[in-house]
């Protein structure tokens, strides 16, 4: 039973009918509560640290991440075997339909480690709370 509007009142007594209507109403309320909770989670404050002025404090870059970033190349510049491995990774991640030009525009880069395993690297953008 999808909704209370689809309920045929001739088939149920009044108690059963009220019970089914309450179940439909509760199901609708739980969906709205879940949507409201998800929206509130998006509005929740970030765990990022703020300085005294209320702006995000500049965090020092991890040297390992910096090394990986420096070794990575632009996705559109990958050729040969690296490109086919990266395409398989993009398919697994579900982003194969996004063009390499769009990924390059948003500074998404590719990295292949010493075991020839591809990885996608992208920057973490900082934002200001206004």
CB atoms inside a 10 Å sphere around CB 70 = 8
- As a whole number, the mean pLDDT across the chain is 73
51 in any annotated domain: no
Looking at the fold, whether 34 and 74 belong to one and the same domain comes out as no
Mean pLDDT calculated for residue range 102-125: 86
pLDDT at residue 41 tops 50: yes
**What pTM was estimated for this model as a whole?**
0.48
Residues 110 and 71 in one domain: yes
What pairing do the DSSP bridges indicate for beta strands 109-112 and 118-121?
antiparallel
Find tokens 């991440």 and name the residue. 65
16 conformational bin, left if phi > 0, alpha if psi -120 to 50, beta if neither? alpha
**Beta strands of the chain (E only): which ranges?**
73-74, 109-112, 118-121
Domain that holds residue 27: 4-43
Residue 71 covered by a domain: yes
Is residue 122 a contact partner of residue 109, using CB atoms and an 8 Å limit? yes
Count of structural domains, the chain: 2
């Amino acid at each position: 039973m999808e909704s209370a509007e689809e309920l045929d009142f001739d088939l149920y007594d009044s108690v059963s009918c009220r019970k089914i209507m309450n179940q439909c109403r509760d199901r609708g309320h739980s969906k709205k509560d879940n949507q409201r909770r998800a929206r509130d989670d998006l509005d929740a404050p970030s765990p990022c640290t703020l300085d005294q002025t209320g702006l995000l404090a500049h965090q020092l870059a991890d040297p390992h991440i910096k090394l990986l970033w420096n070794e990575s190349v632009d996705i559109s510049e990958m050729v040969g075997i690296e490109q086919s491995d990266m395409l398989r990774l993009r398919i697994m991640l579900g982003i194969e339909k996004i063009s390499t030009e769009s990924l390059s525009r948003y500074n998404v880069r590719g990295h292949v480690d010493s075991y020839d395993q591809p990885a996608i690297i992208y920057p973490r953008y900082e934002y200001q709370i206004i």
